[in-house]
Structure 1
Amino acid sequence: MTFTTQIVAGSQAFAENRRAMLALIDDLRGLEQRAADLSERRRERMEARGQMTPRDRLSALLDPGLPFLQLHSLAGYLTDSDDPVQSVPGASVLIGIGYVSGTRCMVVVDDSGIKAGAMSEMTAAAFLSAQEIALRQKLPFLHLVESAGANLMEYRVDLWANGGKLFRNLARMSAAGVPNLAVLHGPSTAGGAYMPGLADYVIGVRGNGMAALAGAALVQAATGEAADERDLGGAEMHASVSGLVEYLAGDDAEAIAIARDVVARLGWTGAGAVTNHKGAPPAHPPDALAGAVPVDPRTPYDMREIALRITDGSAFRDFKPGYGVATVCLQASICGIPVGLIGNNGPIDPDGATKAAQFIQLCGQAGTPLIFLHNTTGFMVGTRYEQAGMIKHGAKMIQAVTSVNVPRIALYVGASFGAGNYGMGGYAYEPDFLFAWPNATTGVMGGAQAAGTMEMVARAGAHRRGDAVDEDKLAQQSALIAQHFDRQAGAFHTSGRCLDHGVIDPRDTRRVLGFCLNTCLEASARPVRPGSYGVARF
């Protein structure tokens, strides 16, 4: 079957789609810039202390000219404030995968320009996500540390309890043979002291780096001791007395140079690294994705239109195209890497679920990475579909996506609702990578459907009680329910809660997929030397 695009680049529909998508992309970039601008306000103060800003540290650490995939850039958005104008995304942390001395690494930089780098609930969520990816993909983990620790104004006992996972994961990485390195640029106190404490290598900056279980003020309050801050936890003390710091640097720049040298000496690039694949470019330009796809998820389009603009040579083989036709399964290559693509041209019916389950298992048998392009309202409902076995066939799809042992990458390109999200390997199924387009919407169901359901429940309840229905009150309730559901469904909101790894420009989809696929292949080829426990500090 040969698929011919139905998209006309000069059409009115294309132009309207493009305008709407570019407006969302502008909103995304504006939110990311909001965090950068706020952090930049502290540049003068940091430079007066002889420090580099967090973004300058990141730039100095990474190899120039090589790709960097930023993750969780919207973390914390609309969780610190309900006001979309005042809320600052980023959760006071910069996270991404990039190259350090030729080695693909996971990098986390505390953004001490915002709230002194204090950790919020979403900071911890993003940090945990970065650790899990690093462990799964066998990426050296680099943490540039300068943080006031947990934000005590947001204290909840469950946040403290879950915070222990940050340190558990550092121990797990070390025991798994995945090296982790901390650069102590500034303070790291209380629980945060275990960030360097559980790192395999620690570099401390003279005069600014500091790690202590309690700062001088807390020590005096707790014990009455009037301690000197540098004697208590300064990098110099740790390099010569406690042994916490392996390498002492004169300033931030030297510390980063030492970090780059340590990474280079790991020999990581020669131990299972693979050459980045490229493949033939698509015959249909990826840039057209900004106009080829409607922003409104209610407007149908063929998922093959996306495939044409992300696959090598715009070529793919359609698997069972005449069966379960609303579920699209394609064999293709992206950046020279064979992949299986599963997409939705509507709800998933029993035939579509069984077709997808078989395709997933075939990809598992061949070791072929899977890419899920979400645009579905869920599994089909109704008497016809229940009698056709929607539950058991949907369960097959969920079983397959849960159990398949190949790299899995999910993209929310439109709607992703209900159990359809589960069958397509959504957030709960821990895909290797999960990104959203700015127009994506996710949730248990749409706001209109939720409001309609609750309205029917209310009417049925009133009928049982013999009460009259207050139509005005019911209309108000329906409007509030719809607003409540829809407000949480948007990509910016869900990404703010770390329910994906980030929101991306649709035009970058092929580049992002290629980077992630190469990361997964490198992990599968890389040998590691796990131990029974992490490297202990002496």
Structure 2
Amino acid sequence: MRSVLQFLFRQIEHVSTKPKRMMKKLVTPVAIRTIQTSSVSTFRPPQISLYNIQSASASSFHQIESVIDHNSTSFHENFERSTQLVADLKKRCLHAASPPKTPAFEKYCSAGKLPVDHRISSVLDNGSAFLELSQLAGLDMYEKVSHRAEDKTVNCGYDDCRRGGIVTGIGTVMGSLCVIIANDATVKGGAYYPITVKKHLRAQRIAMDNRIPVMYLVDSAGANLLMQAEIFPDECHFGKIFHNQARMSAMKIPQLAVVLGSCTAGGAYIPCMCDETIIVRRNGTIFLGGPALVAAATGEVVDAQSLGGADVHCRVSGVADHYAEDEASALELAREIAGRWGNTPRQTSPPMDLEEIRPRYRSDRIYGILPPLTTAIAKPFDVREILACLLDKSEFTEFKPLYDENLVCGFGALYGNPVAIIANNGVLLSESARKGAHFIQLCCARKRPILFIQNITGFMIGKKYEQEGIAKHGAMMVHAVANAAVPKITLIIGGSYGAGNYAMCGRAFHARFVFSWPGSRTAVMSGQHASDVMCRIARKQVETSSYKQEIIKKYDTESHYYYSSARLWDDGVIDPAETREILGLALAACLHAPIEDTVNGVMRM
């Protein structure tokens, strides 16, 4: 029996676990990044049979037969439109991951400091995959960067908070699964914006939910002082970071800090609250009050290294545990420490043959299946066509296939791992809610992870449906989703509107991961419906087109997938053709923790 982490998050057959001597740039415009060599085509996720979950048996499934005509005009139109959306997504992700070539960046590099992607590349296992989260965090939320050059102000065109000023994701370090939280000091010196705090907390939540060790690559000036009211005092502001660190320590989740630059003010607690801390000579500093604050408050004049450098904290204060001469040594030492974590999950059977379990249909076929969102809402496509491109061998066994076809429920597998699926195939009815609640309870009893696939306008409304009790039936499904202790992963492929977002495990319902496809929308309702409602409420005798268009424009902007992802309403916008691989990685991370028993509350019948 081979350990699951021998091939977890791997993309090549044989991987050396020796520390790397070369640091390669890690910038690719997709959610899955490969450390050094290999490609998605050779991706090898794990076959996990942990915690008494039985491996999927091919004999228990039925193959999905596609009825899509890939030679049709609509297929080619959809394919072209989807291709353009994905190209724009990759362009934006590459843009976000590319630091501007400014004098400040040149100064940063001249100090012997590596760009954040190089740091992550250096610490992860050679040939392993890195699943970056929320690449578009902060997109268009703050002002653009400008700098002075030759007595002229130049607009660099880069968002002032690229990737939210911090890079987070999941990879493997010396064979151990690890959440990476890395400050990007080329974005305002690594200062924390409100979205930076939110992204940091989200990564910690993923680590806590899935019992995954955390490595902090620290290089931050602390809180953005001009935005302190949005960062400092509230329940989910900066202080929550340290609360989470204390809780993770109590949960026996290993935490390691590598101080590669500034670690100032409240941020100084990050390394202090870790199990072990490495600090780099000359560049690394840790202090509650920097030289400027010390001078202002006490009149004492002291330089940064004398105040809180590596020599002070390794030789005098004891705040840090390991002294590194440079970044390369620090990152290599971090790998060695991670190798002693000893958190490898239980054993599993050898890996499966990827060719044998590959879906019958190409992944990029999804491009031709997805119609424009307006068409998908008016006449939903059959979500089984999507499942045929995602699940092992395109095999799927439905639950209650003849009862309410608006909600598709059933069982399949992703890279050999059993998974339950709940997918929208139309508006939610009372029957849909009862079917969904029943199926969720069944999954909880069997401790089967659930994949929710959203393309939903919401619950059906009207006198007939209210009298049938759709509110209480919807509440029943919401109860079941909220209390389900099994791992939940949500994929938004189209609309995510109204209470349908809640019943289908939206962000508020503790999904371990939430991903969106280009073209998806998330809002309380569509812009057209919102404008109609507002006009009726305002009792306008003449519904001016300008008033309606203003509301529609507002909703179109705020429901857009880029707007959603920038604010971390999901964990990233992903390429539909790479969804199978990304879901495989997410599911593997979820199975790193034992699945607890589900306890339900009182459901109104």
Q: Same fold (TM over 0.5)?
A: yes
Contact 1:274 1:521 in 2 (8 A): no
The equivalent of 2:203 in structure 1 is 130
Question: What are the Cα deviations for residues 172-216 of structure 1, in whole angstroms up to 9, with x where unaligned?
Answer: 111110011110000010111111111111000001000111110
Q: Does 1:69 align with 2:144?
A: no
Contact 1:297 1:415 in 2 (8 A): no
CA distance in 2, matches of 1:129, 1:319: 33
Aligned residue type for 2:136: L
The equivalent of 2:557 in structure 1 is 487
Report the alpha carbon displacement of residue 8 of structure 1 after superposing the two structures with TM. 2.2
Structure 2: which 5+ residue stretches go unaligned? 1-61, 146-156, 597-605
Contact 1:43 1:53 in 2 (8 A): no
2:480 to 392, 396, 400: 400
Question: What are the Cα deviations for residues 206-253 of structure 1, in whole angstroms up to 9, with x where unaligned?
Answer: 010001111101100011111222111112210011101110000000
Contact 1:376 1:414 in 2 (8 A): yes
Report the alpha carbon displacement of residue 127 of structure 1 after superposing the two structures with TM. 0.4
CA distance in 2, matches of 1:265, 1:306: 42
CA distance in 2, matches of 1:275, 1:241: 50
The equivalent of 1:100 in structure 2 is 173
Report the alpha carbon displacement of residue 476 of structure 1 after superposing the two structures with TM. 2.0
- What secondary structure, in the 3-state scheme, does the structure 2 residue paired with 1:323 have? coil
Q: Does 1:290 align with 2:345?
A: no
Contact 2:447 2:595 in 1 (8 A): no
1:24 to 70, 85, 89: 85
The equivalent of 1:175 in structure 2 is 250
Aligned residue type for 2:346: G
CA distance in 2, matches of 1:60, 1:306: 37
CA distance in 2, matches of 1:214, 1:295: 54
CA distance in 1, matches of 2:496, 2:109: 46
Question: What are the Cα deviations for residues 305-362 of structure 1, in whole angstroms up to 9, with x where unaligned?
Answer: 1110111110111211221111111211111111111111111001111011111111
2:464 to 360, 384, 397: 384
Aligned residue type for 1:387: Q
CA distance in 1, matches of 2:211, 2:351: 19
Contact 1:149 1:189 in 2 (8 A): yes
Aligned residue type for 1:70: E
- What secondary structure, in the 3-state scheme, does the structure 2 residue paired with 1:156 have? helix
Worse-matched range after superposition: 45-54 or 192-201: 45-54
The equivalent of 1:33 in structure 2 is 94
Question: What are the Cα deviations for residues 462-512 of structure 1, in whole angstroms up to 9, with x where unaligned?
Answer: 6xxxxxx354xx332211111111111011110100111111111111111
Report the alpha carbon displacement of residue 275 of structure 1 after superposing the two structures with TM. 6.5
CA distance in 1, matches of 2:76, 2:269: 53
Report the alpha carbon displacement of residue 92 of structure 1 after superposing the two structures with TM. 1.0
Q: Give the ranges of 4+ consecutive aligned residues of structure 1 lying more than 4 Å apart after TM superposition.
A: 39-43, 273-279
The equivalent of 1:531 in structure 2 is none
Report the alpha carbon displacement of residue 21 of structure 1 after superposing the two structures with TM. 1.4
Q: 1:240 to 1:158 in 2, by over 3 A?
A: closer
Q: Does 1:12 align with 2:86?
A: no
Contact 2:457 2:495 in 1 (8 A): yes
Aligned residue type for 2:562: F
CA distance in 2, matches of 1:377, 1:96: 31
Question: What are the Cα deviations for residues 117-162 of structure 1, in whole angstroms up to 9, with x where unaligned?
Answer: 1110001101000001001111110010101111122231564432
CA distance in 2, matches of 1:220, 1:174: 35
The equivalent of 1:246 in structure 2 is 321
- What secondary structure, in the 3-state scheme, does the structure 2 residue paired with 1:351 have? helix
Contact 1:98 1:106 in 2 (8 A): yes
Give 1:130-529 correspondences, 5 Å limit: 130-156=203-229, 159-161=232-234, 162-269=237-344, 271-272=345-346, 280-299=357-376, 300-459=380-539, 469-471=541-543, 474-524=544-594
Question: What are the Cα deviations for residues 42-62 of structure 1, in whole angstroms up to 9, with x where unaligned?
Answer: 553233212222111111011
Q: Percent identity?
A: 39
Contact 2:63 2:393 in 1 (8 A): no
Q: 1:363 to 1:196 in 2, by over 3 A?
A: same
Q: 1:222 to 1:274 in 2, by over 3 A?
A: farther
Aligned residue type for 1:69: L
Contact 2:193 2:231 in 1 (8 A): no
Contact 1:72 1:495 in 2 (8 A): yes
Report the alpha carbon displacement of residue 38 of structure 1 after superposing the two structures with TM. 2.6
CA distance in 2, matches of 1:126, 1:506: 23
CA distance in 2, matches of 1:395, 1:82: 44
Report the alpha carbon displacement of residue 297 of structure 1 after superposing the two structures with TM. 4.5
Which TM-score applies when normalising by structure 1? 0.92
Length, aligned pairs only: 514
CA distance in 2, matches of 1:206, 1:183: 12
Q: 1:175 to 1:22 in 2, by over 3 A?
A: same
Contact 2:64 2:395 in 1 (8 A): no
Q: 1:351 to 1:157 in 2, by over 3 A?
A: closer
CA distance in 2, matches of 1:276, 1:209: 43
Contact 2:265 2:287 in 1 (8 A): yes
Contact 2:396 2:410 in 1 (8 A): yes
CA distance in 1, matches of 2:321, 2:144: 44
CA distance in 1, matches of 2:586, 2:328: 30
Question: What are the Cα deviations for residues 270-310 of structure 1, in whole angstroms up to 9, with x where unaligned?
Answer: x5365786561111111211222124243321110111011
CA RMSD of aligned residues (A): 2.0
Q: 1:236 to 1:489 in 2, by over 3 A?
A: same
Aligned residue type for 1:8: D
Q: 1:24 to 1:274 in 2, by over 3 A?
A: farther
CA distance in 1, matches of 2:549, 2:484: 41
Report the alpha carbon displacement of residue 6 of structure 1 after superposing the two structures with TM. 2.2
CA distance in 1, matches of 2:162, 2:282: 31
- What secondary structure, in the 3-state scheme, does the structure 1 residue paired with 2:494 have? strand
Worse-matched range after superposition: 255-264 or 108-117: 108-117
Contact 1:273 1:525 in 2 (8 A): no
CA distance in 2, matches of 1:277, 1:157: 47
Report the alpha carbon displacement of residue 17 of structure 1 after superposing the two structures with TM. 1.2
- What secondary structure, in the 3-state scheme, does the structure 2 residue paired with 1:126 have? helix
Q: Does 1:111 align with 2:184?
A: yes
